[in-house]
């Protein structure tokens, strides 16, 4: 999916949280949005997902304004925070519910879950627990898995490596690279951790106080430039 953000602004009262003149993301790109807390990363993702209305400007996906269409939602998978979860369900119930929303049968969901068993590490399924009873890390994995099993054309994840042990971080890293390479899934992930972004993304967008400070290819020289920016 191709994404275009044009003259995009978001104000909270008199505070300008986001001010992006132009941002273009092409189909099949794996883009990392990095920035300090309060940089506007989550605000941008919520606007792209039509969960938040911009004060000015627009976001187009495949030339359709996200505000004016429902067609894009069936092709988009996302997980931003625990608010996406239904915590009185078990993970199994939540995955099947997600399948129903996307028109995916239970048997197909079961097959897709098998491919994600290493990430679950025998801690998600068959635990006889509601989502609210899971650890913070396993809640995070449950949300990410629900986004992955829809096999979307566009995948958006906010701070996907948060709360996870190193093994789970590496496994998610591998999964994201694989679906990007094999399915040409357009992927946008945000993080305040430059190391995680650099390990997976071919392109890095640096946000600071709602502005795009840098938009560069992930090369050693360019990465050093971003590291120097944060070191000042």
- DSSP secondary structure code for residue 11 in this structure: E
Evaluate whether 225 touches 33 at the Cβ level (below 8 Å).
no
Indicate the pTM of the whole model. 0.93
What band does 232 get if pLDDT is binned at 50, 70 and 90? low
Domains, the chain, with CATH or none: 3-231 (3.40.50.300)
Please give the Cα distance from 110 to 116 (Å, whole number): 10
CB atoms near residue 190 (< 10 Å)? 25
Reported as a single tens digit per residue, the pLDDT across 107-136 is 999 999 999 999 999 999 999 999 999 999
Reported as a single tens digit per residue, the pLDDT across 138-190 is 999 999 999 999 999 999 999 999 999 999 999 999 999 999 999 999 999 99
Evaluate whether 144 touches 94 at the Cβ level (below 8 Å).
no
| Nearest CA among 123, 156, 154 for reference residue 139 | 123
| Nearest CA among 53, 57, 50 for reference residue 72 | 50
Q: Quote the crossing angle between the two packed helices 91-102 and 106-114, to the nearest 10°.
A: 120
| E-only strand ranges, 35-132 | 56-61, 64-65, 76-79
């Amino acid at each position: 999916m191709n994404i275009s953000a044009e003259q995009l602004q978001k104000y909270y009262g008199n505070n300008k949280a986001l001010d992006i003149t132009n941002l273009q993301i092409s189909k099949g790109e794996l883009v990392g949005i990095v920035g300090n807390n309060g940089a506007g990363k989550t605000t941008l993702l919520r606007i792209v997902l039509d969960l938040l209305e911009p004060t000015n400007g627009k976001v187009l996906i495949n030339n359709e304004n996200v505000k004016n269409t429902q067609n894009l939602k069936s092709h988009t998978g996302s997980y931003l925070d625990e608010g996406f979860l239904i915590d009185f369900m078990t993970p199994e119930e939540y995955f099947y519910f997600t399948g129903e929303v996307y028109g995916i049968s239970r048997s197909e969901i079961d097959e897709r879950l098998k491919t994600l068993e290493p990430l679950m590490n025998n801690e998600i399924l068959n635990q006889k627990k509601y989502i609210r009873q899971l650890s913070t890390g396993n809640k995070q994995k449950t949300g990410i898995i629900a986004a992955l099993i829809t096999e979307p054309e566009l995948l958006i994840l906010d701070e996907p490596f948060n709360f996870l042990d190193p093994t789970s971080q590496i496994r998610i890293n591998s999964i994201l690279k694989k679906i990007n390479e094999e399915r040409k899934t357009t992927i946008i992930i945000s993080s305040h951790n430059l190391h995680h972004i650099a390990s997976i993304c071919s392109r890095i967008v640096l946000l600071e106080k709602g502005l795009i400070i840098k938009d560069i290819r992930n090369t050693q020289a360019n990465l050093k430039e971003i590291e120097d920016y944060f070191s000042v």
